[in-house]
Amino acid sequence: MRFQATVMKLHNFNSGPSILPQPVLDQASIAIHDFNNTGLSILEIGHRTSHFQEVLNNAIASVKRLMQLDDQYEVLFLHGGATTQFMQVPMNLLDEDKTAAYCDNGIWGNKAIKEASLFGNVVVAGSSADKNHTYIPKDLQYPDSASYLHITTNNTVEGTQWHQYPITNIPLVADMSSDIFSRPVDFKKFSLIYAGAQKNMGSAGVNMLVIKKDILGNLQRRIPTIMNYQKHIEAGSLMNTPPVFAVYVSMLTLKWIEEEGGLVEMGQRSSERASLLYNTLDSLPLFKTYVAKEDRSEMNAVFFIEDENLQNQFLDECKQAGFIGVKGYRTVGGIRVSMYNALPMSSVLAMTDLLKSFAAKHG
């Protein structure tokens, strides 16, 4: 006699790679065996064939529709995550004798600053290091001659998010890896946006860039071809073999966002998830949230139990309940609940139920 194993329902709160929409997983699994009835797997098709070109064109078109971009902007899908862009942005935008302004709002902004300093001068326009990056500094200071201002729009590790972007007369550059396509945004405020796909727009392995064309071509520096944005634009993201499957999953995810109602709908769902979780946390003194309320991230809620033994017990109960990815980042600790686009409200409800029951026993 054969027995069928019972599979526990998992609630995926991973910070990235993170949860994907079920329809995307279903379609991608079919394409692994037979892509669009070609008799070939999506893993086997040539990247310069019409099959993949259609995938790439559809992904780019979805990005431009969702962001409401005009022909001033180019969209690229490249290898490497956002960490590669910490180097590639200044390589393309910052001359050795020029200055760039950066916001230090957490670990990722700090890493970006270190990489940019290899290519030119860097000034820190604002920092939240004085309070362990638990807020977003609003009063930014930088020279008007700066080549650009760089921000990280959402800080996955510390749990902060820009809800109002800085107004500036210099080009604005953003790492939007962890809140891209989660809400309506005036994307035309930005001259360059980059985002690793593995949180809100696909699987790990591809990096999306949106570039306003007039920001390029102003450097004296010679740029290696494979790192040169202009060369990638000229090659249509096909300078070398792209991460075909990752681009395909991004295309499916972008299509899912559009079919679900676009960024207005994503923003409404995001606010509902975050409000439910934060309201619950605020009602339970056992759990401590140190992030300034006006700067709380709707993507990544970070909180703590002051008794470390009790906190570890809570994490154990999360594991037993099928809650995945809730342990805080190694440099910060605590508990982190990530709530990206594909996370169903039922998972947040399950988490709030556990928070309440745990607090009732130990609060």
Strands (E), 60-156: 73-78, 99-104, 121-127, 149-152, 154-155
Distance CA 131, CA 140 (A): 16
Task: Tell me phi and psi for residue 133, to 5 degrees.
Answer: 60, 40
**Tokens read off for 304:** 């703590």
The residue written with tokens 């990096």 in the block is: 207
Q: Which of 98, 104, 199, 256 is catalytic?
A: 199
Give catalytic status of residue 188 as yes or no: no
Burial 184-198 (b: 16+ CB within 10 A, else e): bbebeebbbbbbbbb
- Cα-Cα-Cα-Cα torsion 133, 115, 144, 104, nearest 10 degrees, comes to 0
How is 276-305 classified by DSSP, letter by letter? HHHHHHHT-TTSB--S-GGGB-SSEEEEB-
Candidates 98, 104, 162, 175; catalytic one: 175
Looking at 108, 162, 212, 256, which residue is catalytic? Answer: 108
Give catalytic status of residue 199 as yes or no.
yes
State the catalytic residues.
Answer: 108, 175, 199
